[in-house]
Structure 1
Amino acid sequence: MSAHHVVFLDRASLKAKVRTPSFGGRYVEHAKTAPEQVVERLKGATVAITNKVPLREEVLAQLPDLKMIAVAATGYDVIDVPACRARGIAVANIRNYAVHTVPEHAFALILALRRNILAYRQDVEAGVWQKSDQFCFFTHDIGDLHGATLGIIGEGALGQGTAKIARGFGMEVLFADHEPPKMPGVEFTPLDEVLARSDVISLHCPLTPSTRNLIGLAEFRKMKRNALLINTARGGLVDEAALITALDEGLIAGAGFDVLTVEPPRNGHPLLDVRRPNFILTPHVAWASDGAMQFLADQLIDNVELWAAGTPQHLVT
C-alpha cells in the first residue's frame, strides 16, 4: 500500500475523537477551511475529509493527486459527484450513525409540544401557579401520545427509528407515499390522507427537487388544527413563510424544527423571530449526541482505511 496524504478540512465540525488512519503516511487537520484555502491545503493530498466544505469541479480540476473524498456526514451535496466520477475520485459518506439520536430528538420536540411544556413553564415563571386556587392549573391543552396518529414522511433508517418509538407510546404510524423511491416492505398511505389523519407529522426524507417545499400552505390547510409538524431533516422541505402563516392563523397547533433553509442564519431568519410557546427551534443538533458523533468519527476513518486497503465501503460514486 502506497503512502497517503490525508487532509481533514473542517475538523471543528465534529465533536469527537478522530483516530489517525492506521496506514501511516501524512495526516493533517484544519479546524475550518475557507473556500479560497481549499486548493492550497489539498495540494498533494490523496484523501480529503470534509463535512461542509464544498468540493466542486473547478477545485477538483486543480487537484490531480486527489483519489478519495470521505464525507463526514450522510448528505454529500457539497461534493460534485459527477465530476468525481469523471476523474475517478472515490466518494464515501456516513451511514446509519444517527438512527437513535435523531428519532429521540424528534420525540423530545413532540413531547414538549404535545404537553405544552414551554407554555406551562412560562406560566410558572410568570407566577400563574402561585396565584392558582387549586394545586394545579389548566391554562393549556395537554395531549396524550397513546392512541394518537404519527405520520412519517421518509421511510429510511431515521423514519423507521421514529416509528419504533411511536409504537412504544401506543401511537398509530402512517408512512406517507412520496417521492423519491420507496423502501420495499413498508405499507404506504397517500400523502393527503396522512396530512388529514395525523396528529403529528415528522419529516425524515432527503431534500431533493421533488421534496423541496413538500409542505406548503396547501398542505397545512389539509392538516388537523391540533396537529404538530416536526422537521429534523432539512429546512427546504417546508415553505418557511407558509409555516409562519400556519402558526399565526392556527392552521396547526405547533411545530418543532431543528433545521433552516440557511444555516447558520447569520443575517437573520424569519423563524428566529417566532417567539411563541408552540414553536421550538433547535440549531441542527438532532444528529449530534456524543455517541452518534463518535460513531460517525469511527466510521469516517473506517471508510478511509477500507478504501486504502482496496475494499471500499459506503461509496456514492
Structure 2
Amino acid sequence: MSLPQVVFVDHATIPPHIHFPELPFEHQWVSYDETSPAQLLERVRDADIIITNKVVLNAELLSQLPRLRLIAVAATGVNNVDIEYCRAHDIAVTNVQGYATRSVPEHVIGMIFALRRHLMAYHHDIARGEWQQRRQFCFFTHPIGDVAGSTLGIIGHGTLGQATAELARAVGMQVIFAERKGASGCREGFLPFETVLGQADVISLHCPLTEETRYLLGADELSMMKANAILINTGRGGLVDEAALVDALLSGAIAAAGVDVFTQEPADQHNPLLANIDLPNLLLTPHIAWGSDSAILQLVQRLVDNIAAFHQGKQQNRVV
C-alpha cells in the first residue's frame, strides 16, 4: 500500500525562515512554492491531502481527484475551496483560526496611528526637502490628531474584531460594533450599520467575504462616514469598492485609508489603489497584517495538528 501523498501547492505563503513541523505519520511530501491554474491538476492528481492557502480548488478540479480525502487550508478563509462539492463527495476541509489575534489588531492600530498622525506624509515631506527649506526646528504641513478619545467602529464581531476592540480600548479608544448591513433589528451590544458609519472616527473591517458582504462599502456607504474618518481594511479586498474609496480620498469625503487586502492579489497598476499610491492619506501593505512570526508559527503548528488529527480519525477545526 502506497504512502499517503501530501501536496502543498503554495508553500511560499509561509516565509522561508519559519520552521514547518514534520507530520507525525509516514507520508510522501510534495511542495511547490506557487502553483498556477494550468499546473494545478498535474501536481495534485495523486494527492490524498492538499494543503492550500489561496490556490483555488473548484468543483471541476476536485472531480478529477479520486484519491483526495482532505483539504487543509493554511488560513481562516475557505472561499477558495468549493465547500459544497466537498460536502457532497466526502472530502474533509479544515482551516486555521485564531492564530493572528495579536498580529492583525497590532497592524490595525499601527495603521490608525500612522494615518491619524500623518507619519508617512511627514516622512515624504522630509524626503522632498520641505523641512530643510524651513527655519524652524519643526514644521506642520499636516494636522496631527490624537487616537485616544476617538471612536472605533468595528464591522465583524469574530475573534479578530474582538481582539482589535480590546487593543483599541487599551490605547484609549471607544469601541462600537456594527450590526449586519440591512438587518431589521440590532443584537445586544450592536448599533445599526449606518449609525456606526456616521459615528465612528475610524472604521475597521473584520468580516468574511461572502456574496452578502461583497462591496459592503461603496460610494454611498463612504459618504455616510465623517469627513475626518479613517477606513482600515485588513479583512478582504472585496469588502470595499476600491475605485469609490479612491474617489472618497481625493474628494475629502473621508480623511484617510489603510488597506492590507485587495480584490486581486497581488494587485497591479490597474488597481485604483496602486494607481494612487502616492496619496499622502493612503497607506498600503501587501496582505501581511496576519503575518507576524509568532502568528505564522501558530498557524503552521495548528495546520499540522489538523492534518494529524484527521489521519487519526479525529474531528478538529473541520469546516466540512
* TM category, shorter: over 0.9
Q: Quick one: distance in 1 between partners of 2:181 and 2:196?
A: 15
Which position in structure 1 is the counterpart of 2:11?
11
Which position in structure 1 is the counterpart of 2:162?
160
> Following superposition of structure 1 onto structure 2, how do residues 1-317 of structure 1 map, counting pairs within 5 Å?
3-15=3-15, 16-178=18-180, 187-266=189-268, 268-274=270-276, 275-317=278-320
Q: Quick one: distance in 2 between partners of 1:143 and 1:46?
A: 54
Aligned-residue identity in percent: 50
Structure 1 11/186 Cα, relative in aligned 2: closer, same or farther at 3 Å?
farther
Post-superposition offset of 1:180: 10
Q: Quick one: distance in 2 between partners of 1:305 and 1:2?
A: 18
Q: Quick one: distance in 2 between partners of 1:213 and 1:32?
A: 28
Q: Conserved in 2, the CA contact under 8 Å of 1:215 and 1:237? A: yes
Post-superposition offset of 1:128: 2.8
Larger deviation, residues 31-40 vs 5-14:
31-40
Structure 1 runs (4+) deviating above 6 angstroms are none
Q: Quick one: distance in 1 between partners of 2:188 and 2:2?
A: 45
Q: Quick one: distance in 2 between partners of 1:25 and 1:136?
A: 62
Larger deviation, residues 195-204 vs 15-24:
15-24
Q: Quick one: distance in 2 between partners of 1:129 and 1:239?
A: 36
Structure 1 70/216 Cα, relative in aligned 2: closer, same or farther at 3 Å?
same
**Deviation per residue, 1:155-209 (Å, 9 max, x gap):** 111111111111011111000111599xx99610111111111111111111111
Q: Quick one: distance in 1 between partners of 2:239 and 2:207?
A: 8
Amino acid of the structure 2 residue aligned with 1:82 = E
Q: Quick one: distance in 2 between partners of 1:228 and 1:177?
A: 19
Q: Conserved in 1, the CA contact under 8 Å of 2:181 and 2:193? A: no
Q: Quick one: distance in 1 between partners of 2:286 and 2:71?
A: 27
**Deviation per residue, 1:213-256 (Å, 9 max, x gap):** 11111112211111101101111111111111111110011111
Amino acid of the structure 2 residue aligned with 1:72 = A
Q: Quick one: distance in 2 between partners of 1:69 and 1:109?
A: 34
Q: Conserved in 2, the CA contact under 8 Å of 1:3 and 1:23? A: no
Q: Conserved in 1, the CA contact under 8 Å of 2:179 and 2:187? A: no
Q: Quick one: distance in 1 between partners of 2:196 and 2:27?
A: 53
Number of equivalent positions:
315
TM-score normalised over the length of structure 2: 0.93
User: SS in structure 2 opposite 1:255?
Assistant: strand
Post-superposition offset of 1:291: 1.4
